[in-house]
Structure 1
Amino acid sequence: LDGTIDVYCANAGLASPGDVLADEEVWAAAWDVNVMAHVRAARALLPAWLERGSGRFVSTASAAGLLTMIGAAPYSVTKHGAVAFAEWLSLTYRHRGIKVHAICPQGVRTDMLAAAGSAGELVLVPGAIEPAAVADALFDAMAEDRFLVLPHPEVAGYYRARAKDTDHWLGSMNHLQQKWEETRA
């Protein structure tokens, strides 16, 4: 090996539950890990990749970055930022040989899911998949040069529904929020 990096997986993530009233430190940490770590990695990698005309950046975001997650404002907002940054990288450097993938799983059976609390139990656990299934979805997307990687096929339908009728989507999510609040009362 010559020490060059061909593929970089920005996989660090910080699950940050809470609402808009979460402490400033919670918001700052979520922003630092879930968005700025991707930015910093890209800044380090892009000069060499652009010089040689190839490189692949994998941004592990989350379905929360497309759809939002109840009970986790810092996580949802910053995962939206991670998806947006990956989109920006792709549209800016695609023609220069840089390939970008945004992987947006829903529930994955990891320690992060185990720590997701009652919101995770309600929304994520029923359809949770193994990490190997996420890796398989990523490898398929890489082979097909697809930007958006959705290991949970149902997320594509949710994403379309959200785009088609945002007000209806928000109403449905608010009902889920209410259901979650009732379980916590």
Structure 2
Amino acid sequence: MEMQGKVIIVTGAGGGIGGALARAFTAAGGKVVLTDLDAAAVTETARAIEADGGAVAVTSGDASSNEHIDAVVALAEREFGPVDMYVANAGIGGAAGLAATDADWEHAIDVNLMAHVRAARRLVPQWVQRGSGYFLSTASAAGLLTQIGSATYSVTKHAVIGFDEWLSVTYGDSGVAVSCLCPMGVDTKLLRPDGIDGDDAEKLMQNAVETAGDVLTPAAVADAVMEGIADERFLILPHPEVLKMYRYKGSDYDRWLGGMRRYQASLMAPTGS
């Protein structure tokens, strides 16, 4: 996909991967609408892009809300024209296991999965009529592998990849391109939130990610995305080793599960003498 002149919506654009993607898209000539639950953060991202001469509009709200999705699409159409790409990037973490409540699960499913479903429901039919459109999801390597320490995160990221696969199979021959971004560790507040000192489960999850491979900058992830969407590649893997791990998992599931249990045990083992 060529970025020049394209109208793009990016959710979760107040910083991290979403902010880096917005900067990369505008630098390549895209016209970007930014949204985030954190109004102050997304406004600051927009100001930085405007200072660099980028074409940007900004709003804030809940990316999982049908009403907000409608409002963001309307803003994009009013400011720039029909939407060419939707980047479903907003997401939440959480170290919830079996102790997670129904409300915890519902919140994770709503933000990490249903936000994508609702956005696709809103835009894909008009892309099919037009014969072109692009849906980019930020999932995670946790959706291809799993996430030690967090059931809600791992399960919803698996679901996102399944939904993206379905979108590609169902609409790929109708002009709708789909890409799924699956990084491991990225230096964002999702990986390194404030105030987790006393939360052993969150520290376990963070340690698992940080010891599995390099922790990339959001800008490095954005570079990988730009390369991936230039080829309209489905899986975008900023950490190439994820593909090797995924193939190993599929070749011998029981051996892989045993290895993951040993890895988890090593993370939980006491350190020092």
When the two structures are superposed, what TM-score results if normalisation uses the length of structure 2? 0.65
Q: Which has the higher contact order (CA 8 A, sep 6+)?
A: 1
Cα RMSD over matched residues? 1.6
Q: 1:15 aligns with which of 75, 93, 96?
A: 93
Identical amino acids, percent of aligned pairs: 48
Cross-structure match for 2:233:
146
Cross-structure match for 1:56:
134
More divergent stretch after superposition (50-59 vs 19-28): 19-28
**1:69 matched to 2:147:** yes
Greater share of helix = 1
2-structure distance, mates of 1:13, 1:2: 26
When the two structures are superposed, what TM-score results if normalisation uses the length of structure 1? 0.94
Q: 2:210 aligns with which of 114, 122, 125?
A: 125
Contact 2:150 2:205 survives alignment (8 Å) = no
> For 1:1-185, what aligned pairs fall within 5 Å after superposition?
2-115=80-193, 117-126=202-211, 127-183=214-270
The number of equivalent residue pairs is 184
Deviations, residues 65-116 of structure 1 (Å, cap 9, x unaligned):
0000100000000000000000000010000000000000001000111038
Which has the higher Rg, Structure 1 or Structure 2? 2
2-structure distance, mates of 1:103, 1:110: 15
Which amino acid in structure 2 is aligned with residue 128 of structure 1? V
Following TM superposition, the consecutive aligned residue runs of length 4 or more in structure 1 with deviations greater than 4 angstroms are: none
The answer for unaligned runs of 5 or more in structure 2 is: 1-78, 197-201
The answer for unaligned runs of 5 or more in structure 1 is: none
Residues 13, 183 of structure 1: CA spacing in aligned structure 2 closer, same or farther, 3 A cutoff? farther
Deviations, residues 4-46 of structure 1 (Å, cap 9, x unaligned):
1111100011102121231111111110001000000000111
